[in-house]
Amino acid sequence: MNASSKRRGLWLVLIPMLLWIGLLFVLPHVKLFYLSFVSRRGGEFTLANYLYFFKNPLYRRIFVRTAVFSTLVTLLTLVVSFPLAFIITKVAGKRLKAMLLLAVILPYWVSELIQAFTWMVLLRESGVFSYLLQRLGIIHHPVEFLYHDYTIALGLVYTSLLFMTIPIMNSLDTLDDSLIEAAYDLGANFWSTLREIIIPHAAPGIMVGSIMTFMLNLGNYVTVTLLGGKNSLWFTEIIYNQFIIRFNQNKGSAFSVILLTFSVVFVWIVLKVTKQDLSEAM
Amino acid sequence: MSPEIDVALVNVTKKFGNLVAVDNVSFEVPKGSFFSILGPSGSGKTTLLRMIAGFEVPTSGDIYIGGQRVNDVPPNKRPCNMVFQRLALFPMMNVLDNVTFGLRRRGGMSKAEMERRAKDALARVGLQGLEKRKIHQLSGGQQQRVALARSLVLEPTVLLLDEPLGSLDLKLRQSMKLELKHLQARTGTTFVYITHDQTIALAMSDTVAVINRGKIEQIAPPEELYRRPATHFVASFVGENNKLTGGRVLAVRPGPDPQVEVDFAGLRMAGRAGEDLAVGDTADLFIRPEMISLRPGKHENGLLGKVSEVNFDGSHSLVVVDLVEAQRPLSLNVKIQHTEDAPEVQPGDVVTLSWRWDAANAFHPVAQPSTEAEV
C-alpha cells in the first residue's frame, strides 16, 4: 500500500468521528458562542449577556458555589474511589475482586434518572431510610433526607464513582507489588508508602478520574435537581431557566460559555500545577 | 544464641493450605559470611527468604536475626534489607532519592548527612556521578548496583538477595558475581543469597544450603558440597555428573568414609558411600566427568573403553567413551582439560578409564527424579 492510499483509508475511517464531532459538538458550540454575543431583539453585537452575569451577585455566587461544590465532591469521590481501586487491584482475591467490580459497574445498568429516582424513594420523608431509622428508634418522627447539600454530594459521588475508580484501577494495575514490598523493607510504613510510592505511580489515573468526575459534576443537571430540589442552586439550573423558562437563548448561551470556559481553564491550571501531561495521563 | 550468629532458623515450617512450602528447616548463618540457599524453582527457597525478610509468617518455628526473635516484627522494623529479584527500584525517583529512601524513613539525620552516606554507598558499588539519573536511564548492571546501594546504605545486619543476578546476561553476571563477592568481603555484611544457579552459589558462598521440596538436603562449604554430597539430590543437582543407575553393591569397606564397590553391567566400580549401604543393596553412582582420568591404550587397572565422540568446548573437551566390556551399552562422559600433557584422542580410539574411589559417590536410588520438584 502506498502512502497516499494509506492516507485516504485513514480519512475514510475518521469520517464518522469527524461528522459526530462536527455536527454534534463544534457546530452547536459555534452557534452557542455566536448567540452569547448578540442581543435578544435585533441581533446586533453586544456584551450585555455577559455583563448581566457579572453584575448579578446571585448568579456569581451560584457559579462559585457550583465550582467549589464540584471540586469538593471530586475530592470526596477520590477519597472513596482510591481505597476501592486499591482493594480491587492489590488486595482482593479473585471472587471479591469480581464482586466489587460488579458492585461498581452495576448501577450504570440503569440511567442516571432512574438512579436519582431510586435515591428519592430511599431518602424522602416517607421513604425507606426514614422508616427504618424510626423503627430502630434512632429518630422519633419522619425526617426528610432529600433536598440537602449532603444529598446532592451523595448523589454526585455515586454517579461518578465508576469514572474515578476505573482510571485509578488501570494505573494501580501497572504498579509492581514488589515496589510496595521494597518500600516496607526499607523501613517505610503504610502512609509513607502511600505518599511516596503508590500515589505518585497512580497520579495519571487520579488525574484522569478527577478531570472526568469534575466535568460530570459541574455539568450535572438531573441528579442535582432531583436530589437537591428547586433550591439546589446549581449553575446548570440557571442555564436551564434562561433557555426553557425565560426563553432567553442569548443569556443562556453566555452562561454556558462561561461555564465551559471555566471548566477548561480550571482543568488546564490543575494540570499545569501538578505537572501532568494530559496526553500522557490519558 | 551465640552473638556470632546473625540469622538463625529453628524448625521453621510454612504451609500454604495443604502445600508445605518449607518443611522443618533449621540453619544458622555466622556473622559476616556469605550464605547461599540453592534449590530448583519451587523448592521453597523464595518462601524461606521472604520469611526472613518478614513478608511471610512461619506456620511454626522461630526466626532470629542478630539474636532477636523476629517472628512478630514487621518487615519495616527488621534489621535486614532485601535486594529483590526484579530489583524494585522506584521509577518515580532518581538514583539519589532511591538510595536515601530508607534513610529518610529512619529520620534523625540531616539532609546533607543522608546525601553524604548515599553518595558513599553509590561510590562503594562504583556508581559515582550518576546520582541525578532516572532509573530508566541506567543499564541493567547499573540498576543492580543501585539496588545494592539502596540496601547497603542502611547498614543492615543481614542483606537478603533474591537471585538479583538472574536477569543479567552471562558476561555481566560473571563480573557482577565477583563484584558482589568483593563487596561482601569489604563491607563484612552478612549476605543470604538465594539462587537456582549453582555456579553462582559455588563461586560466591562461604556456605551453601541445598534445599529441595521445602527440606534442607545439605549445608556445607561449596567444595564439600561438590566433593562429598550428602544426598542423592545434592549429587545429581550440584555440578555435572555421570549418573549410573540400578547397580548392585558388591563390597563395603567401613571407615569414617565408607568405600563401596558397585556392579554395573558386570563392571566393578569404586565409590564413596554417600549414605549407609549394605552388600546386595541397589545403588546409583555419580562420577564427576573431570575426575575421570583417561589413558590412551589398554592398561591393567581401569575400565576399557572406546571413544565414540569428542566435543570441543574451548578450555576443555567432553569425550564420550563406550565401556566395551559392559554386558549392556554403558558410556561415560570424560572431561579433559586442554593442558600441555593432555591425551589426544579421536573417535574410535581405545582408552582406559579410572578414578580415585572418592571421586564417585553412591546412594540408594530415589523413587522420583529428585530434580523435577513440583512447584
Chain-chain contact of B101 with A200 (C-beta, under 8 angstroms): no
**Chain A within 8 Å of B102 (Cβ-Cβ)?**
yes
**Chain B within 8 Å of A179 (Cβ-Cβ)?**
yes
All 3 cell numbers of residue A227? 436530589
Q: Contacts of residue A179 in chain B, CB cutoff 8 Å?
A: 88, 90
- Judge whether residue B370 has pLDDT over 60: no
Strands (E) in B66-206, as ranges, are 68-69, 80-83, 158-162, 190-195
pLDDT of residue A229: 85
**Chain A within 8 Å of B101 (Cβ-Cβ)?**
yes
Chain A residue at shortest CA distance from B107:
A187
- Residue A233 is classified by DSSP as -
Residue A253 in any domain: the answer is: yes
What ipTM was predicted for this assembly?
0.82
Q: Are B363 and B231 spatial neighbours (Cβ–Cβ below 8 Å)? A: yes
Indicate the residue of A185, A188, A201 with minimum beta-carbon distance to B82.
A185
pLDDT in tens, B208-230: 999 999 999 999 999 999 999 99
Residues of chain A with pLDDT > 90, as a percent, come to 75
User: Residue holding cell 478531570?
Assistant: A211
Beta strands B34-38 and B207-212 are parallel
The count of domains in chain A is: 1
Q: Using CA atoms, how far apart are residues A184 and A161, in angstroms rounded to an integer? A: 30
- Judge whether residue B374 has pLDDT over 60: no
Indicate the residue of B86, B92, B105 with minimum beta-carbon distance to A186.
B105
Give the mean model confidence (pLDDT) for residues B43-72.
94
Mean residue pLDDT across chain A:
91
| SS3 state at A84 | helix
- Judge whether residue A11 has pLDDT over 60: yes
Chain-chain contact of B88 with A200 (C-beta, under 8 angstroms): no
Residue A222 in any domain: the answer is: yes
Residue A91 in any domain: the answer is: yes
pLDDT in tens, A66-80: 999 999 999 999 999
pLDDT of residue A279: 63
Q: Contacts of residue B54 in chain A, CB cutoff 8 Å?
A: 185
Chain-chain contact of A196 with B75 (C-beta, under 8 angstroms): no
**Chain B within 8 Å of A274 (Cβ-Cβ)?**
no
Q: Contacts of residue B167 in chain A, CB cutoff 8 Å?
A: none
pLDDT in tens, B232-253: 999 999 988 999 999 999 999 9
Chain-chain contact of B53 with A182 (C-beta, under 8 angstroms): no
**Chain B within 8 Å of A187 (Cβ-Cβ)?**
yes
- Judge whether residue A3 has pLDDT over 80: no
Chain-chain contact of A178 with B101 (C-beta, under 8 angstroms): no
Residue A164 in any domain: the answer is: yes
Picking from B49, B80, B87, B92 by the largest number of A CB atoms within 10 A of its own CB, the best residue to mutate is: B92
Q: Is the Cα torsion angle B294, B298, B304, B305 positive or negative in sign?
A: positive
Q: What radius of gyration do chain B's Cα atoms show?
A: 25
Inter-helix orientation angle A57-86/A149-173, to 10°: 40
Indicate the residue of A181, A187, A197 with minimum beta-carbon distance to B55.
A181
Picking from A176, A179, A184, A186 by the largest number of B CB atoms within 10 A of its own CB, the best residue to mutate is: A186
Give the mean model confidence (pLDDT) for residues B319-332.
93
- Residue A243 is classified by DSSP as I
Chain-chain contact of B76 with A179 (C-beta, under 8 angstroms): no
Residue A166 in any domain: the answer is: yes
User: Residue holding cell 443569556?
Assistant: A251
Residue A169 in any domain: the answer is: yes
Q: Using CA atoms, how far apart are residues B80 and B307, in angstroms rounded to an integer? A: 54
Residues of chain B with pLDDT > 70, as a percent, come to 97
Indicate the residue of A178, A179, A185 with minimum beta-carbon distance to B81.
A185
| Region at A132 (left for phi over 0; alpha for psi -120 to 50; beta for the rest) | alpha
Q: Contacts of residue A181 in chain B, CB cutoff 8 Å?
A: 55, 75, 82, 84, 88
Residues of chain B with pLDDT > 90, as a percent, come to 71
pLDDT in tens, B59-108: 999 999 998 999 999 999 999 999 998 899 999 999 999 999 999 998 88
pLDDT in tens, B333-346: 999 988 887 888 89
Indicate the residue of B75, B85, B154 with minimum beta-carbon distance to A184.
B75
pLDDT of residue B373: 41
> CA-CA distances (angstroms) from residue A17 to A5, A13, A30, A208, A278?
20, 8, 18, 22, 21
pLDDT in tens, B287-325: 999 999 999 988 888 899 999 999 988 888 999 999 999
Order across the sheet with B293-296: list the strands. Answer: B293-296, B350-354, B303-313, B316-323, B331-337
Q: Which of residues 197-216 of A touch B (CB under 8 A)?
A: 197, 200-201
Query: Sorting pLDDT into bands at 50, 70 and 90, what band is A278?
Result: low
pLDDT of residue B375: 33
Q: Are B31 and B95 spatial neighbours (Cβ–Cβ below 8 Å)? A: no
Beta-carbon contacts below 8 Å between A and B:
58
Residue A251 in any domain: the answer is: yes
Instruction: Give start and end residues of each alpha helix (H) in B135-197.
Output: 140-152, 170-187
Chain B residue at shortest CA distance from A192:
B105
Q: Contacts of residue A202 in chain B, CB cutoff 8 Å?
A: none
List the end-to-end C-alpha distance of chain A, in Å, as a whole number. Answer: 31
Taking the mean position of all CA atoms in its chain, how far away is CA B43?
A: 13
- Judge whether residue B166 has pLDDT over 60: yes
Residue A6 in any domain: the answer is: no
Mean residue pLDDT across chain B:
91
Give the mean model confidence (pLDDT) for residues B21-46.
94
- Judge whether residue B124 has pLDDT over 90: no
**Chain B within 8 Å of A175 (Cβ-Cβ)?**
no
| Burial of A58 per CB tally in 10 Å (0-12, 13-18, 19+) | exposed
pLDDT in tens, B144-161: 999 999 999 999 999 999
The CATH number for A120's domain is 1.10.3720.10
Q: Are B316 and B335 spatial neighbours (Cβ–Cβ below 8 Å)? A: yes
Give the mean model confidence (pLDDT) for residues A13-24.
92
Chain-chain contact of B90 with A183 (C-beta, under 8 angstroms): yes
**Chain B within 8 Å of A185 (Cβ-Cβ)?**
yes
pLDDT of residue A156: 94
| Domain span at A180 | 45-281
pLDDT in tens, A162-218: 999 999 999 999 999 999 999 999 999 999 999 999 999 999 999 999 999 999 999
